[in-house]
């Protein structure tokens, strides 16, 4: 039998958070988005997207949404949107007929409250006393979102009352094919990727491919890169089995389901043989040390998934320059590389249309500080002789550093970027 629920949204200046909550105070789903995800003046569109995702999440959990409550910072007039001194906070809500706009799009009753936060919204929606629970569980009971929500929820669930069971509903392809199993949390700190983290898997993972319809091409391609990486890491036959499922962008839900299953079955093997990342599972870091450096070195202007794809190209270039690949190994590495480049697309149809300029000095600084290295040694995953992946330790030296730089240059030089080299240089300056 379907349960009743409401969607609660709290709009903040930088982030808006939303949850699906039942009258009993159980928060069955939560998620968040940057308030101006698509640039200035896009808060209403972002709000509608977020509400749509919560709606899908509610459906997946068997909850019928009866209404939407929105808490807005500043002075809100239900008819005229945000008015008064806080208008600058969410400027595109100024004067917007908030209730009417949302109600027309969603087809449900919408309630907007003045100057509330999530706590007050919870109390207002379901009566005093439920608010505190709403706030706590909103943060850590259920994760609905991509890898970032998962990382944060994993960590929060692991430390709240020394660990509580939690449920994860991945909403990006990357989190469906990869991060939803394995239980890792990784949180960036001090400008570097994934410095803080632990293992605390969710009790339940629910994958609903209908979320893929709301993802843009960059996020679909990024997800496929992680799936390709997992399958290639299991050996070349694993990569061929993945390709047989016809990964492409866009994909039908059926295609997506097959690719997700292939990827998760393959990852399951790695987790079962090496849950805590001591040996075999380390191979899943293929592309990551190089990719993280490009993510962090562009101030996260390159998304994680795209960074992994580019990182695999850099690892391949490094291996090719070391001259250890057999002719079979070279062919396998090239096969993976051509798949990565084909998914990325070329010129105007490149999925990373707003790629930032890449300053290799900054990228190398991030690469040097990767937590996977050891004092005096770089530790990276690269294809060896027949193309199979291996973990290697390379003593640090100026020559080795130059080898890495030329591998970055060679890999990035193969990409049909949407900008010319001179335009990229101008963007960098």
Least distance in angstroms from the C-beta of 201 to ligand NAD? 10
Least distance in angstroms from the C-beta of 53 to ligand NAD? 6
Of the candidates 320, 306, 170, 315, the one whose C-alpha atom is nearest the C-alpha of residue 233 is 315
User: Mask: binding to ligand NAD, 211-230, rule CB under 6 A, as x and -?
Assistant: x--xx------x--------
Contact 310, 412 (CB under 8 A): yes
Least distance in angstroms from the C-beta of 275 to ligand NAD? 12
Contact 206, 60 (CB under 8 A): yes
With CB under 6 A as the contact rule, the residue among 74, 122, 305, 329 that binds ligand NAD is: 305
With CB under 6 A as the contact rule, the residue among 304, 332, 339, 366 that binds ligand NAD is: 304
Site membership for ligand NAD, residue 210 (CB under 6 A): no
**Quick one: which segment of 13-21, 77-85, 147-155, 402-410 binds ligand NAD (CB under 6 A)?**
147-155
Distance (Å, rounded) from C-alpha 65 to C-alpha 86?
Answer: 30
DSSP string covering 283-311: GGGTTHHHHHHHHHHTTT-S-HHHHHHHH
How is residue 221 written in tokens? Answer: 């391609």
Q: Is the dihedral of CA 247, 32, 307, 40 positive or negative?
A: positive
Contact 316, 337 (CB under 8 A): yes
User: Mask: binding to ligand NAD, 28-47, rule CB under 6 A, as x and -?
Assistant: -----x---x----------
Distance (Å, rounded) from C-alpha 176 to C-alpha 260?
Answer: 7
**Quick one: which segment of 135-143, 148-156, 336-344, 412-420 binds ligand NAD (CB under 6 A)?**
148-156
Distance (Å, rounded) from C-alpha 29 to C-alpha 54?
Answer: 7
Residue number with the smallest Cβ distance to ligand NAD: 147
Residue count, binding to ligand NAD (CB under 6 A): 26
Cβ contacts of 228 within 8 Å, gap of 6 or more: 239, 242, 247, 309, 312, 336, 339, 340
Distance (Å, rounded) from C-alpha 308 to C-alpha 289?
Answer: 9
Q: Measured from the CB atom, is 51 or 94 closer to ligand NAD?
A: 51
**Quick one: which segment of 96-104, 209-217, 237-245, 251-259 binds ligand NAD (CB under 6 A)?**
209-217
User: Mask: binding to ligand NAD, 170-199, rule CB under 6 A, as x and -?
Assistant: -xx-xx--xx--x-xxx-------------
Least distance in angstroms from the C-beta of 181 to ligand NAD? 8
Distance (Å, rounded) from C-alpha 222 to C-alpha 242?
Answer: 15
Question: Which residues contribute to the site for ligand NAD (CB under 6 A)?
Answer: 33, 37, 53, 145-151, 171-172, 174-175, 178-179, 182, 184-186, 211, 214-215, 222, 304-305
């Amino acid at each position: 039998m379907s349960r009743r629920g409401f969607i609660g949204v709290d709009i903040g200046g930088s982030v808006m958070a939303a949850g699906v909550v039942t009258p009993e105070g159980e928060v069955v789903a939560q998620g968040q988005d940057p308030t101006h995800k698509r640039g200035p003046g896009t808060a209403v569109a972002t709000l509608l997207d977020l509400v749509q995702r919560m709606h899908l999440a509610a459906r997946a959990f068997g909850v019928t949404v009866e209404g939407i409550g929105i808490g807005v910072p500043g002075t809100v007039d239900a008819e005229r949107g945000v008015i008064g001194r806080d208008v600058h906070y969410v400027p595109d809500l100024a004067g917007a007929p908030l209730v009417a706009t949302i109600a027309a799009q969603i087809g449900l009753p919408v309630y907007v409250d003045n100057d509330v936060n999530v706590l007050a919204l919870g109390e207002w929606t379901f009566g005093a006393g439920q608010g505190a629970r709403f706030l706590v569980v909103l943060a850590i009971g259920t994760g609905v979102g991509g890898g970032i929500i998962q990382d944060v929820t994993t960590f929060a669930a692991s430390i709240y009352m020394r660990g509580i069971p939690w449920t994860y509903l991945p909403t990006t392809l990357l989190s469906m094919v990869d991060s939803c199993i394995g239980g890792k949390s990784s949180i960036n700190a001090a400008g570097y990727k994934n410095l803080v983290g632990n293992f605390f898997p969710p009790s339940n993972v629910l994958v609903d491919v209908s979320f893929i319809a709301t993802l843009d091409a960059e996020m679909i391609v990024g997800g496929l890169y992680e799936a390709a990486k997992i399958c290639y890491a299991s050996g070349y036959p694993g990569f061929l089995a993945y390709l047989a499922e016809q990964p492409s962008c866009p994909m039908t839900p059926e295609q997506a389901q097959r690719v997700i299953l292939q990827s998760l079955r393959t990852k399951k093997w790695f987790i079962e043989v090496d849950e805590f990342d001591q040996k075999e599972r380390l191979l899943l870091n293929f592309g990551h040390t190089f990719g993280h450096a490009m993510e962090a070195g562009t101030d996260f202007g390159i998304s994680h998934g795209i960074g992994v794809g580019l990182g695999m190209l850099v690892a391949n270039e490094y291996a090719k320059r070391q001259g250890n690949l057999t002719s079979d190994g070279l062919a396998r590495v090239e096969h993976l590389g051509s798949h990565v480049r084909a998914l990325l697309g070329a010129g105007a149809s490149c999925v990373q249309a707003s790629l930032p300029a890449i300053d290799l000095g900054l990228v190398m600084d991030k690469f040097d500080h990767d937590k996977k290295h050891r004092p005096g040694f770089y530790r990276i995953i690269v294809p060896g002789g027949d193309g199979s992946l291996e973990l290697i330790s390379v003593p640090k030296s100026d020559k080795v550093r130059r080898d890495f730089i030329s591998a970055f240059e060679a890999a990035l030089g193969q990409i049909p970027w949407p900008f010319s080299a001179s335009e990229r240089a101008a963007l960098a300056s």
